[in-house]
């Protein structure tokens, strides 16, 4: 059982805002899987989710530490932010010795495509596209290389998401 | 008999098991020994740290590393007067191994336990190299996991986090660009090596959060994500056109952008807060462009720059012994024996 939903996010601020809106439908035990190339905006989107959940600490790239736990500041679920790039399977999440359980947290996994299926029957799969190549040698081109619309394709998998209305784009 | 001036420091926040001994003198903190065991070779095949492997490696290395440190310093365990340990931030499993060892030692020896902040330790270690800090210093801590600017009024009691990275840490950006360029993990040293033979002015990559509009909210924050995307798209464009990638020039131009932003923002913060001493610590301060540019720009700005030798910039026990010594020197209370490690310990919190 899955439904597909598409949003267009014209800039980083709208990506964060959409993340905040998404956070309003997220609850403890939920899994969000983010897929997209380097620079797609996976961390930016997660920052919005973190703002929406009102968690502690700067939500930044978890690449170096593989996973970072942000405790809630308002008695809600913690945010577990994972970079699965180097993990063979998400079952290895158990090996990360996180100081919270996934049942009590909202888990956002970057680079999790093809790995998430084992972890949870219910999940939101987000595929983010950014503009490819095209950056010339000019300073202006490179300065704006990070800009450009992100197209997010959301696939809501499992009964958990059957009747949940997902936020539309900014 | 325990000697109150002798502090044992234990560091296990990531993949290095560090044990060091510091002696507190009235006018300086002396490093007696610094023993490090690394599990980095065990992680290299994964392209990064795997926490569980690191935890096991710490467990295996802990006792031998403590014994090696004591032996090299010719100190009996019974002489240790206080035990300092990294309480966070870092990987929770590795932190727990170090904290458990430190608690056992403190209980067994009947001496105080001090849980301290890893990131502030990266600054404090310089007290053993270049002498005790003056009243107020700026600290730039840059590594694979951190890029933070700290205003240090007192290294043991009064640290303000002025800014940090909003996305990738400096070292992390290097590793990701290394991945992009097909270099082995960790990418930082490889890019540094390539960069030395390239033209840093070849490609004008963007400097994150330096525009006028960012000065109000993010004057002291860093961002390397846009730079990373710019490198990715530049490389993609060359690949799409079937052109060869000038690795040396890409590496040099990328490293120049990182060093430029780090030094410019740090020096601006020194000016704004009227600080004339800058300490640079953390593993990324091994980067040659950062060292050169910081040295040159600080000289021009009349700022004394203190960068410890590279072996004290990477993770080690010396940084924890140094911060522990600063805590003991001030007569601060011991941490509770049930202290909990904190993987996301705030940088304003020096001790627990």
Domain ranges of chain B: 3-125+316-329, 137-310
Average pLDDT over residues A74-78: 96
More confident residue, A140 or A131: A131
pLDDT at A95: 65
| Chain A contact probe: residue of B118, B144, B148, B232 with most A CBs at under 10 A | B232
Of residues A132, A104, A162, the one with CA closest to residue A38 = A132
pLDDT at B184: 83
d(CA A48, CA B317): 37
What are the average pLDDT values for consecutive 10-residue runs of chain B, which has 352 residues? 95 94 98 89 61 86 97 97 96 94 98 98 98 97 92 98 92 89 86 95 92 89 93 92 94 97 97 97 93 97 96 95 98 97 90 95
pLDDT at A102: 82
CB B250 within 8 A of CB B235: yes
pLDDT band per the 50, 70, 90 thresholds, residue A89: low
Average pLDDT over residues A103-124: 84
pLDDT band per the 50, 70, 90 thresholds, residue A90: low
pLDDT at B48: 58
State the alpha helices, DSSP H only, in chain B: 40-44, 51-73, 92-109, 118-124, 126-130, 170-180, 187-195, 215-218, 225-240, 247-272, 288-301, 310-313, 317-329
pLDDT at B108: 97
Q: Which CATH superfamily is domain B137-310 in?
A: ATPase, nucleotide binding domain (3.30.420.40)
Domains B3-125+316-329 and B137-310 share a fold: yes
A2 in B contact zone (CB under 8 Å): no
| Strand order through the sheet with B80-88 | B29-38, B16-24, B3-11, B80-88, B113-117
Is it the case that residue A163 has pLDDT exceeding 80?
yes
pLDDT at B325: 98
A159 in B contact zone (CB under 8 Å): no
pLDDT at A84: 83
pLDDT at B86: 98
The shortest CB-CB distance from A64 to any of B48, B343, B346 is to: B48
Is it the case that residue A91 has pLDDT exceeding 70?
no
Taking an 8 Å cut-off on Cβ atoms, the answer to whether B169 and A60 are in contact is yes
pLDDT at A78: 95
**Which of these ranges, A67-71, A76-80, B93-97, B199-203, has the smallest mean pLDDT?**
A67-71
Taking an 8 Å cut-off on Cβ atoms, the answer to whether A61 and B226 are in contact is no
Q: Checking DSSP bridges between strand A150-157 and strand A2-9, what pairing results, if any?
A: antiparallel
Assess: ipTM above 0.85: no
pLDDT at A2: 63
Ordered domains of chain A (ranges, CATH)? 2-132+145-161 (3.40.50.300)
> Is the whole-model pTM more than 0.95?
no
pLDDT at A65: 74
**Which of these ranges, A137-141, A145-149, B297-301, has the smallest mean pLDDT?**
A137-141
Taking an 8 Å cut-off on Cβ atoms, the answer to whether A142 and B206 are in contact is yes
In sequence order, what are the residues at sequence separation of 6 or more whose Cβ sits closer than 8 angstroms to the Cβ of residue B105? B8, B66, B77, B80, B83, B111
Please report the number of interchain residue pairs, chain A to chain B, with beta-carbon separation below 8 angstroms: 129
Triad B144, B136, B312: Cα angle to 5°: 35
CB B281 within 8 A of CB B123: yes
Cβ contacts of B236 on chain A, cutoff 8 Å: 132-135
- CATH number for the domain whose boundaries are B3-125+316-329: 3.30.420.40
pLDDT at A118: 73
């Amino acid at each position: 059982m899955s439904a597909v939903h598409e949003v267009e996010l014209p800039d980083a601020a709208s990506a964060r805002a959409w993340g905040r809106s998404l956070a309003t439908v997220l609850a403890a035990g939920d899994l969000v899987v983010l897929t997209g190339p380097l620079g797609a905006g996976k961390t930016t989107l997660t920052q919005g989710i973190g703002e929406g959940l009102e968690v502690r600490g700067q939500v930044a790239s978890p690449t170096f530490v593989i996973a970072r736990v942000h405790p809630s500041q308002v008695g809600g679920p913690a945010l577990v932010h994972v970079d699965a790039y180097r993990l063979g399977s998400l079952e290895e999440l158990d090996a990360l010795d996180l100081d919270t359980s996934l049942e009590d947290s909202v888990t956002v996994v970057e680079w999790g495509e093809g790995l998430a299926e084992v972890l949870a029957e219910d999940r939101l799969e987000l595929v983010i596209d950014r503009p490819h190549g095209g950056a010339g040698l000019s300073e202006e081109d490179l300065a704006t290389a990070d800009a450009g619309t992100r197209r997010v394709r959301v696939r809501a998998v499992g009964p958990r998401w059957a009747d949940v209305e997902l936020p539309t784009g900014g | 008999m325990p000697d109150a001036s002798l502090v044992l420091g234990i560091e296990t926040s990531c993949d290095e098991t560090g044990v060091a001994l510091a002696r507190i003198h009235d006018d300086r903190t002396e490093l007696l020994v610094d023993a490090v065991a690394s599990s980095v070779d065990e992680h290299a095949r994964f392209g990064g740290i795997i926490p569980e492997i690191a935890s096991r490696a710490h467990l295996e290395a802990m006792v031998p590393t403590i014994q090696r440190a004591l032996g090299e310093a010719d100190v009996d365990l019974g002489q240790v007067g206080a035990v300092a340990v990294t309480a966070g931030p870092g990987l929770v499993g590795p932190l727990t191994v170090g904290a458990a060892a430190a608690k056992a030692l403190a209980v067994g020896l009947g001496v105080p336990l001090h849980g301290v902040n890893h990131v502030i330790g990266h600054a404090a270690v310089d007290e053993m190299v270049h002498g005790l800090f003056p009243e107020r210093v700026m600290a730039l801590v840059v590594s694979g996991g951190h890029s933070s600017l700290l205003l240090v009024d007192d290294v043991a009691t009064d640290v303000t986090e002025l800014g940090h990275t909003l996305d990738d840490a400096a070292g992390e950006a290097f590793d990701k660009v290394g991945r992009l360029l097909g270099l082995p993990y960790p990418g930082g040293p490889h890019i540094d090596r390539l960069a030395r033979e390239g033209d840093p002015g070849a490609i004008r990559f963007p400097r994150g959060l330096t525009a006028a509009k960012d000065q109000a909210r993010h004057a002291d924050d860093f961002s390397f994500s846009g730079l990373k995307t710019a490198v990715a798209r530049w490389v993609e464009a060359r690949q799409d056109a079937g052109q060869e990638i000038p690795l040396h020039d890409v590496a040099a131009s990328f490293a120049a952008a990182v060093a430029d932003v780090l030094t410019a923002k740090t020096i601006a913060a020194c000016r704004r807060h009227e600080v004339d001493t800058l300490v640079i610590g953390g593993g990324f301060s091994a980067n040659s462009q950062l060292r050169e540019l910081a040295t040159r720009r600080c000289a021009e700005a009349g700022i004394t720059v203190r960068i410890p030798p590279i072996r004290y910039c990477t993770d080690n026990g010396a940084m924890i012994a140094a911060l522990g010594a600063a805590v003991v020197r001030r007569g601060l209370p011991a941490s509770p024996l049930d202290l909990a490690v904190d993987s996301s310990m705030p940088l304003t919190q020096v001790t627990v």
